[in-house]
Structure 1
Amino acid sequence: MKPLRTVALVVNRQKSGAREIGDQLKQLGQDRGVEMRITEEHPLPNGYLQGCDAVCAIGGDGTFLGVVPQAVEYGVKVLGVNLGKLGFLVTFSPDGIAREFGRILDGDYEIEDRTLLEACDPEGERRICLNDVVVKQTASSRMMMLEVFANGDFVNEFACDGLIYSTPTGSTAYNLSAGGPIVHPDVQGITLTPICPHTLSNRSVIFSMGTEIEVRTDLEACSPQVTLDGHLRFTESIAFPLRIRVPSTTVTLIHGKDYSHFLTVRTKLHWRENTL
């Protein structure tokens, strides 16, 4: 792969040891003549990643997800160091990144393109995310009614606490906690999973990549909120009807040479290793 000549480090200062790792990686890069940038600001300053070859998020999956929109905007590759709990996205350990960072800078790494979701409000404002778009009732004690259409075809009216629309990458996040399926990252589609549906037969639905989903609700009967990767992105009064689709743009992840998707899943979910 192409060597990395300009690298940004995004440090979550709330994570123990993050600053030290950031300083260590900055020095490793500078020793190789790589232009290194480092910030603890969240969200990222506007244009921070412009001109970078890669960005390294040091923290947890939340830190990683926070850099994705700007990484997509400027075509920057993303990798992450795990100082959080699960860490499905931040696949390098502190010890692992210390060993491999030099090789990564020299171009000894693998890349993987991951699909995104795009949400659009009636005013045409578009936002992207890597994991999920979640529509939930602001008042947690009340159920809401949500109508879902796929390419104009009525799917169902869900009586539930909310709906999760996830990418394959996001299938191991909120979707999994809500009983949704684990979807391999190579599958290009959208998974809809209802949150605590009133009708027990309501289960996850997987839509093809080319599907445009529309979500409607009665704003006089409920107070919904829309979050993308855990962040509130739309004002509720103008968010509906909300349209969700898979955009043509992707985000490029950097992995080590020994990366395995199923090894990550087995490790994080404590599945059994093969004993046969």
Structure 2
Amino acid sequence: MKGAANTSNKLDPTSFMTSSFIRYLVMVQKELLEQARSYKLLWVPLVFVLLGIMQPVSTYYMPVILEHAGSLPEGTVIDIPMPLGAEVLAQTLQQFGTLGMLVLVLACMGTVSGERLSGVSAIILVKPISASAYISSKWTSMLLLAWGSLAAGYLASWYYTGLLIGETPIVQAYESMLVYGLWLSAVMTITLLFSTWLRSSAAAAFAALGGALMLTLLASLFPKQLGWTPGALSGFAYQLAAAGTPDSSTLSAAVVVTIVCMLGSISLAALQLRKSLAAE
């Protein structure tokens, strides 16, 4: 009877799920600790904050900057119409879509490939850590970094835009941030997938940036045919920030497709990691 009881406890699915979740949380803590030790938790949000502040400040002081540039003829009158606060927020998201995305991809490009080259991943996965928990923990830490940086930078931009140019409704800024955060999450997922597939961190970054650019370009060139794809999310975020009214059904479809694609990419990355470690 005691042996049967011990066997039932070992096979208890509840205790198995609890222990798996605990291991997952431990792995997430490990990833966040590594980000803190490499100062990614400091400098990546700082870059987003600087980008967020730079847009409203440069827009507000642009006439003064041009006036003191020294290359204009004497007596030139500079009259630049001040944009709306919502337009400045949309321009901030565009800054995040270029420099901000580049910083995030460069910060996370060696998440898996770097540990595979150093042999750390093989050591970790020898312990009772599954490939799914390993990939999921890295994905979670990457999303926390991306969302935290985006929130810090966008909040700074919203504050200085209201201070210098004009107030923008917080709900409008919040909705645009959520949609753009989902797009950044998709880019981080692509980065993790290529970091699992490719040995080189630089190749993973190049492939992730190229894939994100292709998705965005195709969605902008064919908005009616590909408006439901993840690449259209950045455009929807710009519209929401600029007080636009995107098609709700197309936006909902893009959100659902993006979430499904991210979950599929995470599963594919875990499967690829198992195959790679088995081959090695």
Fold agreement, TM-score > 0.5:
no
From the CA coordinates, give the structure whose radius of gyration is larger.
2
Higher helix share: 2
TM-score bucket of the superposed structures, by smaller chain = under 0.3
Higher strand share: 1
Higher relative contact order (CA 8 A, sep 6+): 2
TM-score of the superposition, structure 2-length normalised?
0.25
TM-score of the superposition, structure 1-length normalised?
0.25
